[in-house]
Chain A
Amino acid sequence: MAAMQQESAIRTSNTARVLIYLLLLLFAFFYLLPLFVMGVNSVKPLSEITGGNMMALPEIWTLEPWRKAWSEAQVGVQATGLKPYFWNSIKMVVPAVFISTILGALNGYVLTKWRFRGDTILFGLMLFACFIPFQIVLIPMARVLGIFALAGTTWGLVLVHVVYGIGFTTLYFRNYYAAFPTELVRAAQIDGAGFFQIFWRIMLPSSGPIIVVSVIWQFTNIWNDFLFGASFADFSSQPMTVALNNLVQSSTGVKEYNVHFAGAILAALPTLLVYIVAGRFFVRGLMAGSVKG
């Protein structure tokens, strides 16, 4: 982000700087702590957790909790591990991200380059949809999914995530395309390019950064969703978050904390990886969506 590059003109004394560094490091410790705890405890035998120190490194290193979390743990009624749910999530996330991004790009293109009377109001209506508490749509959505035989299916969840995701993707593309010179569209019109030709040949090839933002945002949001997954999915479509919660909350048997931590990391891994690989874009995307409104 361009704004992130500017150097501040402010000067501070050396003592103040030492304090500032100390505090910044303290917060870094605070933010890293849960990740560290999850990490070390997921490679310990259970006895080391219950009988010992959560902060200590393992005395015996073991990958058994990970194997168990992935393929053996009791999730709900079956002892399948998290594996099938992980794939459920993938099968849901990929099409939902793809569809919502394409629709968002087209909407953003129309709302900035083909403006018409009342377009801002329509955009406002779509944008407000991002912010509603989803409790308000749970009951009718459950009915509609039932009517169209989509209840409990991955495609039902895809539909839900597309519907409530396009507000954000439209916002991103609209902000991005608003800064895209309209003269280019006019030049292309004079050159004889039509609506879709301009989109495919001129707009999309220049949309790399915002596509990355939209994909990361949607991927993170949809992967991390719990409410819709918990409300509308069954075993064949339940996403990772719901499965993790079931695993952790299950009241039967011994609580296998190390398996829970391994499962939590498994559930966090895809978004964490995306964040590590493309974190800069992710931050920029969050900023674009919030600061610019």
Chain B
Amino acid sequence: MGFLDIDSAFKTYGSVEVLHNVNISVGEGEFLVLVGPSGCGKSTLLNMIAGLEDITSGEIRLKGNLMNGVHPSRRNIAMVFQSYALYPNMTVAQNITFGLEMHKVPKAERESAMQEVAELLQIGGLLNRKPAQLSGGQRQRVAMGRALVRKPEVFLFDEPLSNLDAKLRVDMRTEIKKLHQNLGTTIVYVTHDQIEAMTLSTRIAVMNEGHVQQLGTPKEIYDTPANLFVATFMGSPSMNLVPVTISANGEAVCAETSNSFGETVRLAVPEAGSDLRSMSGKTVTLGIRPEALTDKDGADHRSTHVERCASAVGVTEPAGSDTFVTTSFGEAECVARMRADTDASSGAVIEFAFNMEKAVFFDPKSGIRID
């Protein structure tokens, strides 16, 4: 049993099922990120943990205590909202202490708790301002202060950074991470931004259409996505998907496809599992991330399985630190991530290097990964 348990949770509105059999166990001190496209049910799940929406069936337990039907204020949770939800008529100080006041904490105690939080978040100079007089980043801090001051068991974050501009978002992301490391709090965090999910979390739950698609560490999610949805949702640019034909020949397993001229390309698959072996002669989807598809000099030197083949360059997109080069394999458009000073130019034929250690395979019908 974990610290926060979500057990066979379902949520339906009338005949519409928004959450289907969600099982997640969050350990104490863990930073769980719920990520997925809009409408995937992640915010509904968060609201159910908060008690703002009731649970249709299943259980939510905090430290082993059943939370179903318990009023939000009695769950010992705090929440940071997307819009920050600062009370517009109250000063920063009043905003931070409102929850304590509602819980009948004596004034002196409220005051010292607030000072502590203000110091932690460096908002001491803002205490007498109204929310309207604050910048986006300052509001964000106040909203976190309001959550922190309660010293809750679990912090819930509902897309807290989505209203900030790009630079501030990166800064605040770092700050939230620091806060988590310093305070060791348990956090459930909702976002649609997969980079936020990767950088912040200790574990990620990728959600789509009310189902948890995969639950795992950022590395697991990134390197071994459970299915095509997770593979394409996480990572930017997204994973290349190439239709290949598997041929198993004794120990050796090969994936066959074609390059931009229609010439056959054979890619040796290292350490192929039995499931993949059994697909011999059938077409599957090869997934390879752009950083595992490079020019020959850029290939990972530590990798022992780099396969090379020539193909024509479609367009090049210099992005500063890297240059993204498109080509096609098996008639699917692919993006390769090359060094910034690569000499690839549109129309040229160059050698592409596949780091096959990083390759994954999917059943094209069910979308599930084949090992």
In the complex they form, whether A and B have CB atoms below 8 Å apart is answered with yes
Q: Does B87 lie at the interface of the complex (its beta carbon under 8 Å from any beta carbon of A)?
A: yes
Q: Does B29 lie at the interface of the complex (its beta carbon under 8 Å from any beta carbon of A)?
A: no
Known: A181-B83, A183-B81. A190 touches B88 (CB 8 A): no
Instruction: Find out whether the CB atom of B89 lies under 8 angstroms from the CB atom of A191.
Output: no
The minimal Cβ–Cβ distance linking A158 to chain B, given in whole angstroms, is 31
The minimal Cβ–Cβ distance linking A97 to chain B, given in whole angstroms, is 23
Which residues does chain A contribute within 8 Å of B51, judged by CB atoms? 190
Query: Looking at the complex, which one of B79, B86, B87 makes contact with A190 (CB distance below 8 Å)?
Result: B79
Dominant SS at the A interface? helix
Which residues does chain A contribute within 8 Å of B89, judged by CB atoms? 202, 205-206
Instruction: Find out whether the CB atom of A183 lies under 8 angstroms from the CB atom of B82.
Output: yes
Q: Report the bound CA distance from A188 to B90 in whole Å.
A: 12
Q: Report the bound CA distance from A250 to B232 in whole Å.
A: 85
Q: Report the bound CA distance from A197 to B103 in whole Å.
A: 12
Query: Looking at the complex, which one of B52, B86, B88, B146 makes contact with A189 (CB distance below 8 Å)?
Result: B52
Q: Report the bound CA distance from A80 to B301 in whole Å.
A: 106
Tell me the nearest residue of chain B to A117, going by C-beta: B14
Q: Report the bound CA distance from A274 to B236 in whole Å.
A: 60
B contacts with A, residue count (CB < 8 A): 25
**Interface 1/0s, chain B 73-84, versus A by CB < 8 A?**
110011101110
Instruction: Find out whether the CB atom of B73 lies under 8 angstroms from the CB atom of A189.
Output: yes
- Between A and B, 14 residue pairs with Cβ closer than 8 Å are A181-B85, A183-B83, A186-B50, A186-B79, A188-B102, A189-B52, A189-B72, A190-B51, A190-B72, A190-B77, A191-B99, A191-B102, A193-B98, A206-B88
Residues of A within 8 A of B (CB): 181, 183-184, 186-193, 197, 201-202, 205-206
The minimal Cβ–Cβ distance linking A21 to chain B, given in whole angstroms, is 40
The minimal Cβ–Cβ distance linking B365 to chain A, given in whole angstroms, is 41
Q: Can you name 11 extra interface pairs (CB under 8 A) apart from A190-B72, A190-B99?
A: A183-B81, A183-B82, A184-B85, A186-B47, A187-B87, A188-B102, A189-B72, A190-B52, A191-B98, A191-B99, A193-B102
The minimal Cβ–Cβ distance linking B11 to chain A, given in whole angstroms, is 17
Q: Report the bound CA distance from A188 to B50 in whole Å.
A: 12
Which residues does chain A contribute within 8 Å of B81, judged by CB atoms? 183, 186-187
The minimal Cβ–Cβ distance linking A269 to chain B, given in whole angstroms, is 34
Instruction: Find out whether the CB atom of A184 lies under 8 angstroms from the CB atom of B87.
Output: yes
Instruction: Find out whether the CB atom of B103 lies under 8 angstroms from the CB atom of A190.
Output: no
The minimal Cβ–Cβ distance linking B52 to chain A, given in whole angstroms, is 5
Which residues does chain B contribute within 8 Å of A190, judged by CB atoms? 50-52, 72-73, 77-79, 99
